Amino acid sequence: MQATTGRILASVAFGALALAACGGGDDSANTTTTTAPESAGPPACDELFTDGAVISNEQWAAGCTSDSGALVLAVSYGYDCGTAWSNDLGWGYGGRPFHAGASLPGLDVISVCGGE
């Protein structure tokens, strides 16, 4: 009976070692690698900054891409009446209509806040 018990224990031990050898070790063969999709980047300037388009503060801050592929960024000015933004294409307040081809009117609060 001891011989049978010894064989059973040896078989169980061998089976455990075999499972450990097959399932253990380097998991690289079973690893799935995922990559995030490439960001589309800022939109084209001529699609975003059109006269009268309502542009959010987030869109202003993200900028746009010119026809040559250059990133066009805006400058912001904080006023009590809102945040005014301007770039080479025009100006506007976040969440309000864009004024294409126009310069930001003066940097004093009266002309900016009343200039829309």
Non-local CB neighbours of 35 within 8 Å, separated by 6+ positions: none
Q: Are 85 and 75 in contact (CB under 8 A)?
A: yes
pTM to 2 decimal places = 0.57
The DSSP element (H or E) to which 10 belongs, if any, is helix 2-23
Checking if the pLDDT of 71 tops 90, the result is yes
Checking if the pLDDT of 14 tops 60, the result is no
Token pair belonging to 49: 């900054």
| Model confidence pLDDT, tens digit, residues 34-44 | 565 566 789 99
Q: What pLDDT sits at residue 47?
A: 93
- Among 40, 38, 39, 46, residue whose Cα is nearest residue 67: 46
Q: What pLDDT sits at residue 114?
A: 61
Please tell me which residue, 20 or 83, carries the higher pLDDT value. Answer: 83
Please tell me which residue, 80 or 77, carries the higher pLDDT value. Answer: 77
